[in-house]
Structure 1
Amino acid sequence: MPLRDYNAAVDFVDRNVAEGRGGKIAFIDPQRSLSFGELGDAVARVGPMLARLGVEQENRIALVLKDTVDFPILFWGAIRAGIVPVLLNTRLNADQYRYLLEDSRSKAVFASSEFLPAIEEAAADLPHLRTIVAVGDAPPPTLQLAELLDAEHEGGAPAATCADDIAYWQYSSGTTGMPKGVMHVHSSPRVMAENAGRRIGYREDDVVFSAAKLFFAYGLGNAMFCTMGIGATSVLYPERPTAGSVFDTLQAHHPTMLFAVPTLYAAMLADPRSRTEALPDRLRLCVSAGEPLPAQVGLNWRNRFGRDIVNGVGSTEMGHLFLTNLPHAVEYGTSGVPVDGYRLRLVDESGDDVADGEIGELLVNGRSAAAGYWNQRDKTRTTFVGEWTRTGDKYHRRVDGVYTYCGRTDDIFKVSGIWVSPFEIEQALMSHPKVLEAAVIPAEDVDGLVKPKAFVVLSCCAEVDPGTLFEELKDHVKSAIGPWKYPRWIQIMDDLPKTSSGKLQRYLLREMTPGGVDATENTRAGRVVYGRAAAGSGR
């Protein structure tokens, strides 16, 4: 890669054609497939199309797209023209879209047809937005991507960009507040493809299915950067993935690699089809990231399907995975070791390194780190400290260099003067056969003492006796991880509140928990409280 002059689209698109992959399938969706050559032709026509719409180099365009072959066309086409695609979550409402469109000052929006009503409502009177383009069918006078591209008979030359130019944006998931625009440079995708791609073991003959969506950093790395970096093929699924649709896609396309979030792996195990369904023989690797993988989910997957799940850790700020289990040496309950090309530190509240075995905040150093947050100077300075990026996650590291997740920095709490990891309690609860999902937060009793409170989703719909269930789970946690760590209260939920990308929203659980929970009252009810997820949980 040149030290300065570099265009990521030329590398990821044009290079594959130049190396003889023009006739090879790059992307498959339920309606069409696209070869690397066809992708290159369409990508080259996006720049002239955007120019006719009045979009200039270094302007931004928003993409609100389902996972279809149009996504890589627009993503790489904008980057090739020196224009910045801003990837937006497809599960937002009009008010949320308005905030993101206003914040990003996007000049155009390309939206899958079903999202047009929300986008049109959100776009009303925005001063910077000039054009809305439908991706798919739409009634006149709405512009349609297919017609605009068909009108361009020649491709444009790639823009003269450098490795440090901003290439694309993603927005943080907003688990604790409004999302932040995360700006990545042209050189970052190549770093991710080489580092994470080598760790996971991508091959040119791989067929990859990522249930995690392309607007999500994990999905973008899985199904775009790492696949195209080596010339592999990606299977795209436009709709929201379910256990059934993943089983269907596996049977239809027989991929060699599957990427999903832990919630989806758990849902597949809970689906009746899991008792009779076999995974394709070609499926050699299953990978999980986006949220911590509970050990019991991995063990259950291995016992049922004879495959391990490789647990990985990444972030929007780092672009993709920087810490994973080794694919052929999976150890459930751990996050593994650093990906080649990344350095990790654990620090205390003063910023000093902690010893092995102690809990500290994880800092990451790697060349895929974002350039910063858009128009958030204070938060940029707090997160991006010199060459290091603060993750906000707590870990401990063994003497052999293996890292174990302990929770978010503001989720860790003390019980009887001893630090407690909510994730450790959650894993212990989920190892009980009656628990499908669990979340733990600190709660104060009537004396003002902090104790664990658990929210659980049961693995079956059968009636349970509250007192008996509480005693079962209490004794189970005590024996698994320690007598002081058991939850003093357990609330049974229909579902847990999560972001649209599957991350647990603990702050909503905290809002559901008043201060000074009366342990005496709960004792009479077995300390089990029945409830439902808060409104706006995202599920």
Structure 2
Amino acid sequence: MDNASEHKADGPVPATLHELLDSAARTRPHAVAVRGEDAVLTYGELHGKARAAACRFRALGVAEHGTVALLLENTPDCVVALLAAARLGLRLAPLEPGTQVPQLSVIREKLGPLSVLGHAARLAALEGTKGPAPLDCAFVPVEDPGGDAPTWEARGDEPSAPDAPFLHQYTSGSTGEPKVAVHTQRNLVNGGDIYARSYGITEDDRILTAVPLLHSFGLVAGLVTALRAGAELVLLGRFTPARLLRALDEHACTVLVAAPMAYDLTTRAAGAGPSVPRALRLCLSSGAALPPAVARRAKERLGLDIQQVYGCTEAGVIAARHPQDGSAADGSAADLGVGRPMPGVRIRVVDERGDEVAPGEEGALLVRTPAMFTHYLGHADATREAFTDGWYRTGDVARVGPAGHLHLVGRKDSFINVGGKKVNPVEVEQALLDHPSVVEAVVWGEPTDDGGERVRASVVTRPPLSATELTSHCRARLLPHQVPAEVDFVASLPKSPMGKVRRAAVRTAARTASSVRRF
């Protein structure tokens, strides 16, 4: 089935980030563009600072290196640096703020000569690091040094190419070695356009971004969407539930962009006492699956259904729930799946031969999106394997429900082969989570001596819970070959900053665990 959502245009979509900023600065120069915890910039000021920073970067030779590694924090200065790099048409690699010298050395080997941009304190710590060999990179603070800015050269105002390689983003590596997915500026602008049109985001909105900008969700749903709509971007620096709730009220935020972990922690900490945020109209969640229990608590605390967004680094946003779909906090959540395909997104669900399956049947999910990446850097074979006749192979097994909602069944490469029988770890995880004492669960296939696999799980529980009780619970809900052969009871699961479980780290910890409870 070739499924595409209607996409009504109300004018041509700009092709680059600096075109978005130029347009907003012309039409709304005095409107707030970015609000950080220690600075506020109007669109006119953001435009001027991005232009001056681009000039400074050029004068310091940043453009000569070709690639910039930005230690990207949720601050106005980092937003300025990102937009300056876009204006210059540089290759940009957004990195965790705490990236260390050994990691930068690996990145330099992959990307070539680097200029490292970041807050002065971060750079000073890197430059002071002692190691076997100095890091051959230029270090450039993102802070405005003040004083007279270098003269802007005429060639610096020439528009950057919208389809040239721009964003070099590391994938999560949840199913293997992280790769660098390359996006153009047009990809990113198209992604912001999808969010703005899908959720009616306008210049009257104030978007609180409580996820890191260095991740696709924060960058596109937050920054790029705000630029596209001419809206105000409110940046939450260090996350705490109290800071998030205070920002929602103090700045009358209308849109919240956050990961499931933030919704979970905020609703647990807040309780039922405080009032519902007065201006909030839309809550978006991505980066990991949104557990039904978290969705229910969030609706009680924030007064709104949380709209789950499904996408990936390579393809951008693919599908999402919308307020008109109904409640995701009651029994209808299973019927909604991960939502309907977003505007301009086309999906196919195919069998092993590449033929489309009938509606409701499971198959491999292929997508085409306006925000699609172009290739994996230095991985020509992986790039070829990722596409089939121009369709990106997500690696997810899915089906399409009768109302057109997309349902994810699991990852094809994560299925467990138990004596020739395929076990979907998602089904086993759901069975474990159905126990009231199980808070989190991860299931994977552990190799056996005979070349097969067995089901193994790691669970976080609320004590007391015995192995006997949990195995009885699983046997009542699963087939014999699906029941975990071994379970680790752990205090917590390793997660990314977005709250996504790092499955490889879970497996490594389980193999070296000194204490294991067996079924």
Residue pair 2:308, 2:321 contacting (<8 A) in 1 also: yes
Which of 391, 396, 399 in structure 2 is aligned with 1:396?
399
CA 1:445–1:86: 2 relative to 1, 3 Å: closer
Which of 12, 16, 19 in structure 1 is aligned with 2:20?
12
Residue 189 of structure 1 aligns to which amino acid in structure 2?
Answer: L
Residue aligning to 1:323: 319
Residue aligning to 1:210: 209
Quick one: higher RCO (CA 8 Å, sep 6+), 1 or 2? Answer: 2
CA 1:277–1:153: 2 relative to 1, 3 Å: farther
Q: How many residues align?
A: 498
Residue 110 of structure 1 aligns to which amino acid in structure 2?
Answer: L
Residue pair 2:165, 2:183 contacting (<8 A) in 1 also: yes
Residue aligning to 1:162: 161
Residue aligning to 2:105: 98
Residue aligning to 1:409: 412
Identity of aligned residues (%): 29
CA 1:287–1:7: 2 relative to 1, 3 Å: closer
Q: Does 1:340 align with 2:343?
A: yes
Which whole-Å CA distance do the structure 2 matches of 1:41 and 1:155 have between them?
Answer: 15
Residue pair 1:279, 1:305 contacting (<8 A) in 2 also: yes
Which of 256, 259, 265 in structure 1 is aligned with 2:257?
259
Residue aligning to 1:67: 74
Mean alpha-carbon deviation: is it higher for 325-334 or for 8-17?
325-334
Q: Does 1:224 align with 2:261?
A: no
Which whole-Å CA distance do the structure 1 matches of 2:236 and 2:443 have between them?
Answer: 33
Which whole-Å CA distance do the structure 2 matches of 1:92 and 1:67 have between them?
Answer: 15
Structure 1 residue 13 displacement after superposition:
0.6
4+ runs of 1 displaced by more than 6 Å? 444-449, 481-484
Residue pair 1:266, 1:436 contacting (<8 A) in 2 also: no
Which whole-Å CA distance do the structure 1 matches of 2:16 and 2:33 have between them?
Answer: 17
Deviations 1:265-289 (A, max 9, x none): 2222332x23323330211111111
Residue aligning to 2:6: none
Within 5 Å, give how 1:91-490 maps onto structure 2: 91-116=98-123, 119-120=126-127, 121=129, 125-127=134-136, 129=137, 131-135=138-142, 145-147=143-145, 150-152=148-150, 157-239=156-238, 241-271=239-269, 273-318=270-315, 320-330=316-326, 331=328, 332-333=333-334, 334-413=337-416, 419-443=422-446, 452-458=455-461, 460=462, 463-467=463-467, 469-470=469-470, 473-474=473-474, 478=476, 485-490=482-487
Residue pair 2:35, 2:233 contacting (<8 A) in 1 also: yes
Residue pair 1:443, 1:451 contacting (<8 A) in 2 also: yes
Residue pair 1:5, 1:160 contacting (<8 A) in 2 also: no
Mean alpha-carbon deviation: is it higher for 401-410 or for 348-357?
348-357
Which whole-Å CA distance do the structure 2 matches of 1:248 and 1:134 have between them?
Answer: 30
CA 1:508–1:402: 2 relative to 1, 3 Å: same
Structure 2: which 5+ residue stretches go unaligned?
A: 1-8
Residue pair 1:265, 1:297 contacting (<8 A) in 2 also: yes
Residue aligning to 1:503: 500
CA 1:276–1:91: 2 relative to 1, 3 Å: farther
CA 1:90–1:49: 2 relative to 1, 3 Å: same
Which whole-Å CA distance do the structure 2 matches of 1:472 and 1:117 have between them?
Answer: 56
CA 1:97–1:277: 2 relative to 1, 3 Å: farther
Deviations 1:214-251 (A, max 9, x none): 11011001211111101111111222x23343233324
Residue pair 1:171, 1:181 contacting (<8 A) in 2 also: yes
CA 1:11–1:414: 2 relative to 1, 3 Å: same
Which whole-Å CA distance do the structure 2 matches of 1:119 and 1:36 have between them?
Answer: 32
Residue 324 of structure 2 aligns to which amino acid in structure 1?
Answer: H
Structure 1 residue 397 displacement after superposition:
2.0
Which whole-Å CA distance do the structure 2 matches of 1:86 and 1:283 have between them?
Answer: 33
Which whole-Å CA distance do the structure 2 matches of 1:366 and 1:282 have between them?
Answer: 32
Residue 325 of structure 2 aligns to which amino acid in structure 1?
Answer: A
Residue 442 of structure 2 aligns to which amino acid in structure 1?
Answer: A
Which whole-Å CA distance do the structure 1 matches of 2:428 and 2:283 have between them?
Answer: 25
Deviations 1:367-405 (A, max 9, x none): 211111112211111113442112222222223322112
Structure 1 residue 449 displacement after superposition:
7.2
Which whole-Å CA distance do the structure 2 matches of 1:351 and 1:303 have between them?
Answer: 44
Which whole-Å CA distance do the structure 2 matches of 1:392 and 1:149 have between them?
Answer: 52
Residue aligning to 2:5: none
CA 1:151–1:275: 2 relative to 1, 3 Å: same
CA 1:114–1:55: 2 relative to 1, 3 Å: closer
Which whole-Å CA distance do the structure 2 matches of 1:185 and 1:122 have between them?
Answer: 36
